Chain A
Amino acid sequence: MKLLQNSGVPIYQQIAEQMRTDILAGKLKEGDYLPSIRGLAKDLKISVITTMKAYEQLEAEGLVTAAQGKGFYVNAQDSEMLKEQHMRRVEEALTEAIRAAKIAGMTDLELQETLTALQKLS
C-alpha cells in the first residue's frame, strides 16, 4: 500500500480507498479479516486512530463488519451493490472529466469523441 503524506487526501481516506478497491476487485474475499488495526498502523508507520477511522468508514459503507475483539471482516458483497459502487466511481470520474472539458473549452461532441477514442484504445 502506498500512502502519500502531502497529497491533500487524508491518510485514512487513502487506506479506505485501497481496501475498498481490493474488496470490490475480489482480492479481499467474504469472511477475510482485514489486518489488525494496530498491526497495520505499525506497518504503515501511522497512528492507530487513523487506521481505525479508515476501517470505520468501510464499516459505514457496509463493506466490512467489526467483530468484538477480533477485528474487521469482509462482508458478502451483493453483486448489485458492487455494480452500483463501480458505477458511482465511473460517474465521479466522468463528472471530473466534464469539469476539465469545460475549463478547456471543449464542445460536447469533442468530449464524446475523446471518450469513444479512449474506449477503442483500452
Chain B
Amino acid sequence: MKINSVVEAVNLEKKFRGFELSIPKLQIPKGFATALIGENGAGKTTLLNLLTGIRLDFKGEVSYFDGKEKLSGGGVQERIGYTGPSSFFLPHWNAGQVAEISELLFSNFHRDRFEAICEELSIPVKERKNVKELSDGNKMKLMLATVLARDTELLILDEPASPLDPLMRDKLCDIIREYLEQGNGGRSVFFSTHNIADMENVTDYAIILEHGNIVEEGFVEDLKEKYLLVKGESGDAEAAGKILFTMSKSSYGFEGICLADQLDRLTGMDISVETPTLSQISVAVMKVNTSLKLGR
C-alpha cells in the first residue's frame, strides 16, 4: 500500500523559554484522518501554528500536497481549511459578516453551502448575534461552517472537539468521515485532540507528541497490534512490572500495556490479553515518556 503525504516537514525546530519543539521528520498521510495527541503543553498548537503559517519564526522545511507546494507559493491557502482553538473572528461580527469576509478572502467560498451548514449545525444565525455573544461551542461550529463551505483538500483543526457537546462531537466525526468520503482519497484531515476516546472511531493515523517530540506514531490498526492490554493476578505483578510498558496494581491484580513482541516473556503467568483502545495506548505512551522526563 503506497501512501502519499499531504503535509511533509523536515527538521522542524522552534524554541521557547523552557520548551523546545523538535521534529526531524513529519509525514501526514493523504486520504486519511490523522490525530495529533498529547497532553497540555506538549506542543500540539505550536506544531499546528508552524504548519499553517501562523508562526513563521521557526527552522525547518514544510511542504504540502505530495511535497509539491509551499505556503509562500500562494494558492495553497485556498486548498486548506483551518480552525483554531478559539474563535479567530472579530468579536463584533455576526455570522453574515463572517460569510462576507470569507467570500472576500477565498475564491472557493460557497455562501449557500455556508448557510445550509449553519442550519444543519444549528448555529443561531437568524438572531444576528455577534460572535462574542455566541457560546464556545457555537464559535467552533461557526469556524467549522466557514471551512466546510469551501472546496478544500486538507482540514487542519486545532482541538475541534473540546468546546463541543457529546452530540456535536459525534456530528463532528460524521462530518470528518463525509469530508474524506467525498474526496475519495484526495482529501485529508489533521486534528489535535485530548478527547481521544470521542475521536477514536474517526482516527486513522495517530501522532503522539510529548515535550515537543513525536514519541509514537502509526496507523491505529498497526498500533493496536504493536501494543497489548494485559491483565493478571497480583502474585505476578512484580515480575510483570519489569516487562510491561506501564502498569497499575490493585489488591485484585494488575493491568498494563505491553509491547506485543514482549508477550512471550510473560509465559507462565496467569494473564488475559486484550487489544487496547487508542486511548489506552496513548495514555501508556504518554505516562512512560513523562516518567522518563521526570527522571523516575
**Chain A residues proximal to chain B, CB less than 8 Å:** 8, 10, 12, 36, 38-39, 41-42, 45-50, 52-53, 56
In the A-B complex, list the 4 residue pairs whose CB atoms are closest, starting with the nearest: A49-B204, A38-B181, A42-B177, A42-B181
Q: How far is the CB of B32 from chain A (nearest CB, A)?
A: 6
- Interface residues, chain B, CB within 8 Å of chain A? 1, 31-33, 173-174, 177-178, 180-181, 183-185, 200-205, 219-221, 224, 274-275
The answer to whether A48 and B221 touch (CB under 8 A), given A38-B184, A42-B178, is no
Q: When the two chains form their complex, are residues A38 and B1 in contact, meaning their CB atoms are under 8 A apart?
A: no
Q: Which of B173, B177, B221 contacts A49 (CB 8 A)?
A: B221
Residue among A10, A41, A49, A56 making CB contact with B181, cutoff 8 Å:
A41
CA distance A56 to B1 in the complex (A): 10
4 additional contacts (CB under 8 A) given A38-B181, A41-B181:
A10-B224, A42-B174, A48-B31, A48-B180
State A46–B201 Cα separation when bound (angstroms).
5
> A38 near B177 (CB under 8 angstroms)?
yes
* Chain A residue nearest to B29 in the complex (CB): A49
Residue from B174, B184, B201 within 8 A of A36 (CB atoms): B184
A38 to B1, alpha carbons, bound, how many Å? 16
Asked if B205 and A49 make an inter-chain contact with CB atoms under 8 angstroms apart, the answer reads yes
The answer to whether A38 and B219 have CB atoms under 8 Å apart is: no
- Tell me what chain A mostly uses at the interface: helix, strand, loop, or mixed: helix
Given A8-B274, A36-B184, A56-B1: A49 and B178 interface contact (C-beta under 8 Å): no
Q: Which of A36, A41, A42, A45 gathers most chain B CB within 10 Å?
A: A42
B280 → chain A, closest Cβ, in Å?
14
In the complex the two chains form, is A45's CB within 8 Å of B220's CB?
A: no
Q: 19 A-B residue contacts at CB 8 Å?
A: A10-B224, A10-B275, A38-B31, A38-B184, A39-B181, A42-B174, A42-B180, A45-B177, A47-B33, A47-B201, A48-B33, A48-B177, A48-B180, A48-B204, A49-B32, A49-B221, A50-B220, A50-B221, A52-B1
Chain A contacts for B31, CB-based, 8 A: 38, 48
Closest chain B residue to A9, Cβ basis: B275
Q: B204 contacts which chain A residues (CB < 8 A)?
A: 47-49
Q: Is the CB of A48 within 8 A of B32?
A: yes
Complex: how many Å from CA A8 to CA B272? 12
**Do B177 and A53 have beta carbons less than 8 Å apart?**
no
- Residue numbers in A under 8 Å from B275 (CB-CB): 8, 10
Closest to A38 in B: B181
**What B residues does A50 contact at CB under 8 A?**
220-221
Bound together, the chains give a CA A49 to CA B275 distance in angstroms of 16
User: In the docked arrangement, what's the CA distance between A47 and B173, Å?
Assistant: 9
Residues of B within 8 Å of A38, CB to CB, are 31, 177, 180-181, 183-185
User: Looking at B32, B174, B181, which has the most chain A CB atoms within 10 Å of its CB?
Assistant: B181
Q: Report chain A residues within 8 Å CB of B274.
A: 8
Across the interface, which residues of B come within 8 angstroms of A56, CB to CB? 1
* B-side contacts of A53, CB under 8 Å: 221
Flag if A41 contacts B221 (CB, 8 Å): no
Measured CB to CB, the nearest residue on chain A to B202 is A47
Complex: how many Å from CA A50 to CA B225?
13
Q: How far is the CB of B29 from chain A (nearest CB, A)?
A: 9
User: For the complex, what is the distance from the CA of A39 to the CA of B180, rounded to whole Å?
Assistant: 9
> Which residue of chain B is the closest to A47 with respect to CB atoms?
B204
How far apart sit A84 and B263, CA to CA, in the bound complex (Å)?
33
* Most chain B beta-carbon contacts within 10 A, residue among A8, A12, A39, A48: A48
Query: In the complex, A39 Cα to B177 Cα: how many Å?
Result: 8
- Neighbouring A residues of B178 by C-beta, 8 Å: 42
**B165 to chain A: closest CB distance in Å?**
18
B1 near A49 with CB under 8 A, answer: no
Q: How far is the CB of B159 from chain A (nearest CB, A)?
A: 19
